[in-house]
Structures are given as C-alpha cells and as structure tokens.
Amino acid sequence: MLKSLRVSSIYVLDQDQALDFYVGKLGLQVIDDIPLGYMRWLTVGVPGDGDRSILLEKPGPPAMDEKGAAEVRALVTKGRTAGNLFFTTDDCRKTYEELVAKGVEFVEGPTDRGYGIDCGLRDPFGNYIRFSQMSDAFVSGKWEGATP
C-alpha cells in the first residue's frame, strides 16, 4: 500500500532562475542540489513540511531529445503544462501582499471560493501555482462543494 507522496516534479527552463524564484521569492528551501552529471537533481520544499519535495527538472538530453525538450518548453511557456502546485497559507491576503512586493506575477488576486481564500500566480517560466487559506468548513470536513 502506498504511504505518502514524497517527490513530485515540474519542468523549469533554468534551474538557477528557478531557485531564485522558489527559494528567494516563495520562501521554499532547498532539499537537495546534487550535480549528477547527466542532470542536476534539484529539489525544494516548504520549510517544516517533512520529506515532501518538488523536483525542479530541466527538460533536455539525455532524458529527452532536443525536439522533445522544445515541445515541453513550448507548453511551459504557453502555460499549458499540468504541473500545477497548490500550497496552503495561514493568511492568503498577507502572503499575497508580501509576494506582490517581491515582484511575483499574479494571475488572480485573493478570492473567496468557499473552501478557502486563494489566489493564483505564475513562476518565471509559465507554470501555474496557487495557494489557499483553507476555510474552517473545509478543514472540518463540512465543505459541501462549490458551484462553477
């Protein structure tokens, strides 16, 4: 039986730029940064969130050929990857203001959606990220769903 989700991954186009964003702006911490030669194993995570980490993976050889990497880069830059990340926060509006001050690009400001107040942003490459301040109803299991 599966026990937990430990590593998930998203594609980034430049790992140094990704570090600047995910660590320098969003406040994540580096879990691993290991040069393997064929790839740079670079993972980040939310401080205090146990072993869960996000692999910031650069598309390219030898994992995929240049044509495949170009296809991935096109999808990322058009915002069409499924590599969404969803974080939680204790105070959505405050976190939003802090990140705006750091120059983070938001797609949607804090919005009450029943299950919580959340908002959406993009990383420098086009990946979509959301964070939410979950409502008491959601946390207690009493949230019955939202309408479209």
Partner 1 sequence: MSRAEEDLNRRVLRARDAIDLSYSEPLDIPRLAGIAHISEAHFIRTFSATFGETPHRFLQRRRVERAMYLLAQTRRDITDICLEVGFTSLGTFSRTFTQIVGESPSSFRGHAKPIPVPNCFAMAWLRPSSFG
Q: Which residues contact 89 (CB under 8 A, 6 or more apart)?
A: 95, 131, 132, 133
**In the structure encoding, which two tokens stand for residue 90, read together?**
């204790």
Question: Nearest distance from residue 91's CB to partner 1, in Å?
Answer: 17
Question: Nearest distance from residue 13's CB to partner 1, in Å?
Answer: 7
CB of 53 or CB of 132, closer to partner 1? 132
Question: Nearest distance from residue 113's CB to partner 1, in Å?
Answer: 6
Q: Which residues bind partner 1 (CB under 8 A)?
A: 13, 70-71, 73-74, 77-79, 84, 86, 105-109, 111, 113-115, 118, 120, 122, 125-126, 130, 132, 144-148
Mark residue 50 as left, alpha or beta (left: phi above 0; alpha: psi -120 to 50; beta: remaining).
left
**In the structure encoding, which two tokens stand for residue 83, read together?**
């590599």
Residue 73 near residue 13 (C-beta atoms within 8 A): yes
Question: Nearest distance from residue 6's CB to partner 1, in Å?
Answer: 22
Mark residue 77 as left, alpha or beta (left: phi above 0; alpha: psi -120 to 50; beta: remaining).
alpha
User: How far apart are the C-alpha atoms of 22 and 83, rounded to whole Å?
Assistant: 14
Residue 32 near residue 7 (C-beta atoms within 8 A): no
Question: Nearest distance from residue 138's CB to partner 1, in Å?
Answer: 9
